[in-house]
Structure 1
Amino acid sequence: MLTDSASAELVKYAANGFLAMKLSYVNAVAELCERLGADILDVTEGMSYDRRIGREFLNPGPGWGGSCLPKDTQALLQVADAADFEFRLMRASIDTNTRQRQRMVDKIRLAVTGNRNGSLTRTRVALLGLTFKAGTNDLRDSPALMIAALLRQAGAELVGFDPALPTAISYPELEGIELVADAYAAVAQADAAVVLTEWPEFRTLDWPRIAAAMGTPRVIDTRNLLDRDVLTRAGLTWTGVGRRQPSDTTVLAAQ
């Protein structure tokens, strides 16, 4: 594609901005699912059959991060501001992403204390996954670390494991997090285990062993990575994002 320099610059910013908006949108829809008793997996599957939407970037999670989306969305706002254009849609997408991190902390509070405003002081929280996505050791703008910072501010004691982060290396970004060598060490005596990165190997962990090792056997799965039935049979309580609980009724069907 041959174009002018201004258009070429905007191609990259606009593409990553669109992906960020799509992720913020699906995270907002996931919250709506929780309030209505719907299930985000069914909703996104139905959406994906529309070829204009597709299947990519329709997985809810703890928020988007990494080396590109945060940088390029901010750059797009700066370009818009310089052109005296108020890009409200992009700003709202960024605000939604920031709110998503706090929403995950509230979900953890509720799971641990039974109250969205409950105290996490001196609770032990195991963080499974710290990089911004699976398949990388990149910690830049990782939503896992943003959530960890909020949990630390709330008084929680944090222990973490990530397959891409050897414990022999010191990571300044992990200040306040005890990094351990495997998931089993992370969950020992924990009040909750929180899945923050979608590493596929987490699916094959020995979940009965984890349930026995934890102080309280509960998992908050911010990536909807794990099989709820597998964890339930292992004796753990599982909480996902935008997922209908087995006891929920479908509000929309009754209306």
Structure 2
Amino acid sequence: MANPEFLREGTAVADFLNPDRIVVGADDEAAAQWVAGLYADLAAPSVVTDAASAELVKYAANCFLAMKLSYVNAIAELCERLGADIESVTEGMGYDRRIGRSFLKPGPGWGGSCLPKDTHALVQVAESVGFDFSLLSAAIQENIAQRDRIVAKIAGTVGTLAGARIGVLGLAFKAGTSDLRDSPALSVTAMLAAHGAEVTAYDPAVGGELPGMRVVDDPYQTAKGADALVVLTEWDEFRRLDWNYVAELMHGDSVVDTRNLLDPRSVLAAGLSWLGLGRPRARALAG
């Protein structure tokens, strides 16, 4: 019997009560139908199949989302090199009903408890039956490369990371959770520290001590004396920061927004520069 769940961290209850589908698999069809009937009140479409197919639905769905995220991160990099704007590109893509709008936002990479685990698991399952799932393997490698690109972007704003003070906003793998498992933010901060940067980080759901950085309990403390400020998790509260105050606290003027979360106009109005993903860098006008 297989009855995979499709619950997202931070919205698990809502996802359970409003599922896109119910998937049940068993070698005994009557047993599978009985389990599917337990969800009748949820009014969601049901897929009743064999156990192997039900399990593969879960892996196939999560791995497709991972590949979609790796794809949009690669397209964002291409936008920067061609002078295109990722927001216009993904808007145009999203109107296509075959593609949709979800999972089309670039970021520092995908992480958490599901996508890394499931992508590696499906690659291993494929290998066990003699299939080289190179498409999925490439998505995993692209995800690693994205973190390297983020570090390079940050380095480009400060000249050299050795001795640079970097303020980090966000450590969890996504907003609405304190989960640090396979968080791209932790990968990026570890790489910054390995290059000699002094990292000060804040996350509204994460506290305590973490290796390679100083974790503070106020977002403005990350800006104090910082050569660059980096947004790594899409917490909504970061949109509402007082950017004039941030500018007063910073030593440098660079804000690297790896989630394209902030309003560049607010950042620029404070005399800072803004660098997103797949978008042209915006600098405040002198004087």
Q: Same fold (TM over 0.5)?
A: yes
* Aligned residue identity for 1:165: V
Q: Deviations over 1:212-244 (max 9, x none)?
A: 100112100000000111100011110000002
Counterpart of 1:220 in structure 2 is 256
Alignment of 1:186-201 (within 5 A): 186-201=222-237
Equivalences, count:
237
Is 2:147 the partner of 1:95?
A: no
> RMSD of the alignment, in Å?
1.1
Distance 2:280 2:230 in 1: 18
Distance 2:99 2:119 in 1: 21
Counterpart of 1:162 in structure 2 is 203
- State the structure with more CA Rg: 2
Q: Deviations over 1:54-109 (max 9, x none)?
A: 00000000000000000000010011000100001000000000000000000001
Distance 1:186 1:195 in 2: 11
Counterpart of 2:85 in structure 1 is 39
Shift of 1:112: 1.1
Q: Deviations over 1:144-165 (max 9, x none)?
A: 0001111111110111000112
Distance 2:141 2:171 in 1: 22
Distance 1:244 1:124 in 2: 24
Q: Deviations over 1:126-145 (max 9, x none)?
A: 11000000000000000000
1:153 corresponds to which of 182, 186, 194: 194
Give the match's secondary structure for 2:49.
coil
Query: Segments of 4+ in structure 1 off by > 2 A?
Result: 244-247
User: Higher mean Cα deviation, 7-16 or 95-104?
Assistant: 7-16
Counterpart of 1:251 in structure 2 is none
Distance 1:234 1:26 in 2: 30
TM-score, with structure 1 as normaliser: 0.91
Give the match's secondary structure for 2:60.
helix
Higher relative contact order (CA 8 A, sep 6+): 1
* Aligned residue identity for 1:55: R
* Aligned residue identity for 1:34: E
- For structure 1, the residue ranges without an aligned partner over 5 or more in a row are 114-118, 248-255
1:18 corresponds to which of 64, 68, 72: 64
* Aligned residue identity for 1:242: G
Is 2:159 the partner of 1:122?
A: no
Distance 2:195 2:148 in 1: 11
Does the 8 Å contact 2:268/2:282 carry over to 1? Answer: no
Shift of 1:246: 5.8
Shift of 1:3: 1.4
